[in-house]
Structure 1
């Protein structure tokens, strides 16, 4: 684990492998870190230079005080980190909130992005939200609790997977301990920002990956993103909820590798 100066804070990251760079961006759930989201996938990507980030305010990366929407703030810090690490252009893989951060980077810095992989990304809400899906309700309730209980974390983790046997005690404990690290409080629900108006600015080839039974960012939210991003395609995995990269790791790794090996985005694709 290392850190990089992004101007107003240090961004913590883990680097694994060598080759073309891939930046991995995690979700916003309690206890989320880059490695808790993606640690089990990296062995399949060792022929890439993997930069697995703890986004500002999660894991061991501090969150500077800001009134800026979280997605916008995080995207700018990730781009600064890429520059400091000598990465001019990279593939971005984002889960949930991290998917929103990846989209924001692709909108604002298209020259920095080769291909996008977005797993049930945040930042694009339907017009009738709230009410929130049950997964987001539990996420916001956990964030709002003065002293969250371990059982609340267990309930949250079980909701993230279709096969609850994957919600192991070790995983629950890891996420619970990480969630107790103190960061500045957020309003509930947090101000993540709205990416909807700028979807058409995403020029990179984009792969959307969704669990059919996702109860946090449901599949019914996918069509707006699929229609809005010019070069987007969608893969849906059955018997799977929000943590596609964890619950269906072999299929996820295969799908993503196949997509990334399509090559760097040509200028004409933007």
Structure 2
């Protein structure tokens, strides 16, 4: 069940499940994104963890603020949520925008972060961007539309998955309804913030997971993150685009579970 935590000046919606070491799940910035739309299908495989799937500010049931850069504000908000929920330290799993939020928190509050799992994370752009990859073009176009259409959502969803059979009418309808409920009012492109200069400050052991055919945050953008985070490794899944956790759910769950445990008892002993 989705509930919310009151932070005084705002509230943040989240869904909690399982018991054990804490894992914070951070969704992307796509239209209609929420914690559960991104990760609802994955959480049952992590029932032996305390899972917190957030709706980041401005998505799902969490109110938007005017604070920018967005990644910086969202990371502060995640830290405040952790404090409110009594979580001293957690593993962070972030998709796209959520991956950027996870990296920002690992930069600013390293003692609160166990391990990082980042799926094609945002916040690190190559020097020649724009032009934007086609997936980002569609994302920004959807955000800019006064009242986007279902067909625009369908085009966006189809770009997120390699296997077009996964772009079901039910998924498109769900994301479309959710996007209209909280349509982003953001400058285009949004001011996400630049994490590039601070990547070497990330101490957490980091796993990057990328779909080889990603058309939103291309695999060619991975090199800077992989090379600049001191303890980073990269897994590339073929025949897969941006929604790795959805398109390759079983393999994703296995890879992430293995990484979070890592055969190292200290990896989770202080995460709660």
TM-score of Structure 1 vs Structure 2, range by shorter chain: over 0.9
**Counterpart residue number, 2:145:** 145
Cα gap change, 1:52/1:176 in structure 2, threshold over 3 Å: closer, same or farther?
Answer: same
Q: 1:184 offset after TM fit, Å?
A: 6.0
Q: 1:7 offset after TM fit, Å?
A: 3.7
Q: 1:5 offset after TM fit, Å?
A: 1.9
Is 2:136 the counterpart of 1:136? yes
In structure 2, runs of 5+ residues without a counterpart are none
Cα gap change, 1:75/1:7 in structure 2, threshold over 3 Å: closer, same or farther?
Answer: farther
SS at match of 1:75: helix
1:138-195 Cα shifts (integer Å, max 9, x gaps): 0000000011000000000000000010001110011000000245610000000000
Q: Distance in 1 between matches of 2:212 and 2:183?
A: 33
TM-score, length basis structure 2: 0.96
Is 2:189 the counterpart of 1:194? no
Q: Distance in 2 between matches of 1:9 and 1:220?
A: 37
Q: 1:6 offset after TM fit, Å?
A: 2.6
Aligned length: 265
**Counterpart residue number, 2:20:** 19
Cα gap change, 1:201/1:178 in structure 2, threshold over 3 Å: closer, same or farther?
Answer: same
In structure 1, runs of 5+ residues without a counterpart are none
RMSD: 1.1
Q: 1:98 offset after TM fit, Å?
A: 0.1
**Counterpart residue number, 1:113:** 113
1:189-237 Cα shifts (integer Å, max 9, x gaps): 0000000000011000000000000000000000000001000000000
SS at match of 2:186: coil
Does the aligned pair in 1 maintain the 2:200–2:228 contact within 8 Å? yes
1:1-270 aligned within 5 A: 1-66=2-67, 68-182=68-182, 185-262=185-262, 263=264, 264-265=266-267
1:14-41 Cα shifts (integer Å, max 9, x gaps): 0010000000000000000000000000
TM-score, length basis structure 1: 0.96
Q: Distance in 2 between matches of 1:213 and 1:133?
A: 12
Q: Distance in 1 between matches of 2:236 and 2:182?
A: 36
Q: Distance in 1 between matches of 2:228 and 2:192?
A: 19
Does the aligned pair in 1 maintain the 2:143–2:184 contact within 8 Å? no
Does the aligned pair in 1 maintain the 2:161–2:241 contact within 8 Å? yes
Does the aligned pair in 2 maintain the 1:12–1:61 contact within 8 Å? yes
Q: Distance in 1 between matches of 2:171 and 2:223?
A: 32
1:39-93 Cα shifts (integer Å, max 9, x gaps): 0001100000000000000001001222x20000000000000000000000000
Does the aligned pair in 2 maintain the 1:63–1:183 contact within 8 Å? no
Cα gap change, 1:196/1:14 in structure 2, threshold over 3 Å: closer, same or farther?
Answer: same
Does the aligned pair in 2 maintain the 1:205–1:265 contact within 8 Å? no
Does the aligned pair in 1 maintain the 2:160–2:241 contact within 8 Å? yes
Q: Distance in 2 between matches of 1:10 and 1:249?
A: 30
